Amino acid sequence: MAHYKLDDAIVHYQWDNAIAPRLTIDSGDTVTFTCRDASDGHYHPDRTPDEINRPRQAKGHPLTGPVYVRGAEPGDSLALEILRYDHKGWGWTVSATKGGLLPGEFDFLLKQWKLDPGGFAEFKSGIRIPLEPFAGILGVAPAEPGAHATAPPRSHGGNMDIRHLVQGATLYLPVFVPGALLSAGDCHAAQGDGEVSLTAIEAPMDVTLRITLRKGVTIPGPQFQTPSPLTRADTKGYFATTGIEPDLMEATRQAIRHMVAHMVAAYGLTREEAYILCSVAVDLKISEVVDAPNWVVSAYLPLSIFDQA
């Protein structure tokens, strides 16, 4: 089986099954995708504050690919074995004023991270986030012709932001067009389930996959297998807040609002710092959906990220 490297010199910013493949491979080959960060370098640590503060045109996520898999046809599926991630030592997170779970409720704050080779990133003194890298976007070309925005996930994969697609996981994707046309991007060094501030620890990264064609195996959408434990942060227990509402999204918002208030009171963070921390470390879980008319969503804060829990 062959191994290929696909650089980020050329990227695409939309899903479109008319984009010509940059690489053609056989089933079982491995490919290392070099992926730009989600800002396309705008928040690079070497840039000056003036450069960072200049308005930028959001074109979509920069995606590396597509890769054509010989023999792949509609009705087949791909198995993507995630062999390794290699970050570049830096990343960033913002509290978004537009978008995210709570638009308009927080001021803008940019956090630039140094990613420690030892597997952590310091948020501020006394708070460290364990790195658990994954690709936020892994997807094949959609069946529908024309250009499609990269932001929403779809049945072909794309911007799923599933943080358990870590090294050792396997993602299964349906094939919709000949060759599948696989692309990757939007890598994260760490993220909580929910990515509530709109961003995780966004980081450029190399993603190495073994790509296997499953001939005649049809699936309705993305499926995956992930190794245990689900998070490196699960060592000292959790503090959780809840949202209880007749609408699941409003229950989710309430759980995060309550968690932000807790972290401000308990750890002396600003509201924006707490919101960012929710995005990179707090896991949202549906606790119950059977006791109408109200449903419960819980937000879990891992206490291991604090030096003094």
CB atoms within 10 A of CB 229: 8
Measure CA 284 to chain center.
15
Yes or no: say if 207 and 35 are a contact pair by the CB < 8 Å rule.
yes
Each residue's pLDDT tens digit, 274-306: 999 999 999 999 999 999 999 999 999 999 999
pLDDT at 56: 79
Torsion over CA of 270, 276, 278 and 283, rounded to 10 degrees?
-170
Residue that is written with structure tokens 């708070």 in the block:
127
> Beta strand 283-288 with 90-95: parallel, antiparallel or unpaired?
unpaired
CB atoms within 10 A of CB 48: 8
Average pLDDT, rounded, for the chain: 97
User: Residues of the chain with pLDDT > 70: what percent?
Assistant: 99
Q: Which of 277, 271, 164, 273 shows the shortest CA–CA distance to 222?
A: 164
Task: Kindly state the average pLDDT of the residues 1-27.
Answer: 98
Measure CA 20 to chain center.
25
Rounded (5°) CA angle 218-219-225: 125
- Answer yes or no: is pLDDT of 57 > 80: no
- N residues, the chain: 309
- Alpha-carbon gap, residue 71 to 146, rounded angstroms: 23
How is the chain split into domains, by residue range?
Answer: 3-218, 238-305
- Answer yes or no: is pLDDT of 309 > 60: no
Sequence letter at residue 78: L
Each residue's pLDDT tens digit, 103-142: 999 999 999 999 998 999 999 999 999 999 999 999 999 9
Peptide bond into 229 cis (omega under 30): yes
**Domain 3-218, CATH 3.30.1330.10 — does that match?**
no
- Alpha-carbon gap, residue 162 to 129, rounded angstroms: 18
The class level of CATH for 238-305 reads alpha beta
* Per-residue tokens: 184: 């990757």
DSSP secondary structure letter of residue 198: B
Residues 6+ apart with CB under 8 A from 294: 244, 245, 246, 251
Each residue's pLDDT tens digit, 252-266: 999 999 999 999 999
- Answer yes or no: is pLDDT of 234 > 90: yes
**Can 3-218 and 238-305 be said to share one CATH topology?**
no
